[in-house]
Amino acid sequence: MTVEGGRIVAHGANNAVTRQVMDRFIQGTNPMQILAATTPGAYFASSDAFGLDTPSNTLFLRGFNQTQIGATLDGMPLGEQSVMNILGIAITQAVVQDDVAGMTVSQGAGALDAFSTQALGGAISYVTSNPKDQAGGKVSQAFGSYAAFRTYARVDSGILNSTGTKFYASFARTDSNLWKGQGYQNELQADTKLVQPIGDRGKITAFFSYGNFAQGNYLSLTKNMWKKMGRNTTYLKPDYEKAKLWSYYSQYTNIVPPGYEGVLSNDEIGDYAWDGSQIQRTYISSVNGHFDLSNHITSDTVAFSNVMSARYGGTNNYVTSPSGGPVSLNPDGTVLGVPMALSMASSNGRRIGFTQKFGIEAPYGNHITFGTWYENNRYIYDARLYEDGVNEAITGFRISNHTKHIHGLMMLSIPILFNFFFRITGLLYLA
């Protein structure tokens, strides 16, 4: 009997999307939308062309949704990629799309060294571009339908001194009217990144990002609403009397307004609110350190912070504004009183933390990785109801101290994350 030896190499299964591929899409397109268009098993849907409307954005990866998919930016945890993300921020608000150098997505569950609490469905790693060695700049302008335009500008310093210091600063603005209904979407972003080599053994990278979003939302539709009312159906704004009427039928009756029998259900009538909108503001900063401690040992450290605030407003068809008086249906089909109110939620979050990873090149082609992740979060969610006027709604963008407050609810969440991992990958040697 003879025994033969062989080697089985374990490769990480990842799909990569480069900057060259991303440049084939309209500038400013949500990276998740590009990922879905270029990766088997990935699906992305949004209500707007750029993919900026976070309440409507949906990402699936082999059947897992974005709440089950991890994400990092230059090693910094981003949390789940959904609206009101307690443990992070969406990629569209974390970095200007033009400054993303590329991204990779795992074909299976995220690896142990993926800093995420929800990597069951996979992990997406985004990498920002580095400053260029030569000084220069770039300006791009895009125009589209519904008064859409996007401006992007970037300045690279080039190498500034003998140690290799270099940086860039960029700015992007995206504006568009909603393609149905009344409202607009506005996005302002700014990035800056500095790279400082430390001899020939490592480098330190500092990154800062600012994002400010103000946008009207699109009404979420059922299949029946889409089929019976058409793709252009949305919030009832600017018809305030119709909004009061439909709110009356949904709150005070179990029937539908005249002319909609057999078309919409009473619940669907209640879905047709006056309007919905949101404002989100984000600040991100991180410092990365990569060092070759020896010919076989590397160290990667990321210290990060993230401060965010937001306001989410929308009409509540199931709460009556008391100051409007008793609610009743007039003979002419108008509504006396105000059978609806403004639902307004304010959120404030703060994240600080660090990750530390060591890599060791072991004999026989093996690679050992171990490290830790610590994060301290604070998230406050304050939800309130405000009265709407008899003849005019109160929007989320202009609540004043004179607006009457009906009811409130506050949630405080302070999760602390600590994780340690140890992984060996490489060759299996049989003899």
Residue 336 pLDDT: 92
- H-type helices in 199-315, by residue range? 223-229, 240-252, 266-271
pLDDT digits (tens, 9 = 90+) for 225-246: 999 999 999 999 999 999 999 9
pTM of the prediction?
Answer: 0.85
- Do the domain assignments include residue 96? yes
Residues 314, 275: Cα–Cα separation, whole Å: 6
Query: Does residue 2 sit within a domain?
Result: no
Q: Is residue 1 part of a domain?
A: no
> Cα(170)–Cα(207) distance, rounded to whole angstroms?
12
Residue 282, domain member (yes or no): yes
Residue 35 located in a structural domain: yes
Look at residue 112 in the predicted model and tell me its pLDDT. Answer: 61
Q: Which residues of 250-279 are buried (b: 16+ CB within 10 A; e: fewer)?
A: bbeeeebbeebeeebbeebbbbbbbbbbbb
Whether 131 and 194 have beta carbons less than 8 Å apart is answered as yes
Looking at residue 113, its pLDDT comes to 65
| Structure confidence at residue 162 as a pLDDT band (50, 70, 90) | very high
Number of domains observed in the structure of the chain: 1
Task: Determine if residue 125 is left, alpha or beta; phi over 0 gives left, psi from -120 to 50 gives alpha, anything else beta.
Answer: beta
Q: Are 256 and 269 in contact (CB under 8 A)?
A: yes
Q: Is residue 326 part of a domain?
A: yes
Mean pLDDT for the chain?
Answer: 85
Q: Are 419 and 267 in contact (CB under 8 A)?
A: no
Range of the domain at 249: 7-429
Instruction: Give residues with Cβ within 8 angstroms of 36, minimum separation 6.
Output: 42, 43, 44, 59
pLDDT at 357 exceeding the cut of 60: yes
What pLDDT score does 8 carry? 31
Confidence of residue 370 (pLDDT cuts 50, 70, 90): confident
The CATH number for 126's domain is: 2.40.170
| pLDDT at 155 > cutoff 60 | yes
| Predicted local confidence at residue 66, as pLDDT | 81
Q: How far apart are CA 142 and CA 27, in angstroms?
A: 8
Whole-angstrom Cα distance, residue 184 to residue 277? Answer: 9
* Nearest by Cα to 183 from 213, 212, 215: 215
Look at 38-47, 63-72, 259-268, 422-431 and tell me which has the smallest mean pLDDT. 422-431
Give the pair of three-digit tokens for residue 98: 């033009």
> What is the pairing mode between strands 341-361 and 367-387?
antiparallel
In this prediction, residue 399 carries a pLDDT of 44
Q: pLDDT tens, 45-94?
A: 888 888 888 888 888 888 888 888 888 999 998 887 777 777 778 898 89
Is residue 413 one of the residues assigned to a domain?
Answer: yes
H or E element, residue 277: strand 276-292
Residue 39 within a domain: yes
Which DSSP string do the residues of 104-146 spell out, in sequence order? EEESSSPPTTS--S--TT-EEEEEEPPPPSS-EEEEEEEEETT
Q: Return the higher-pLDDT residue of 292 and 110.
A: 292
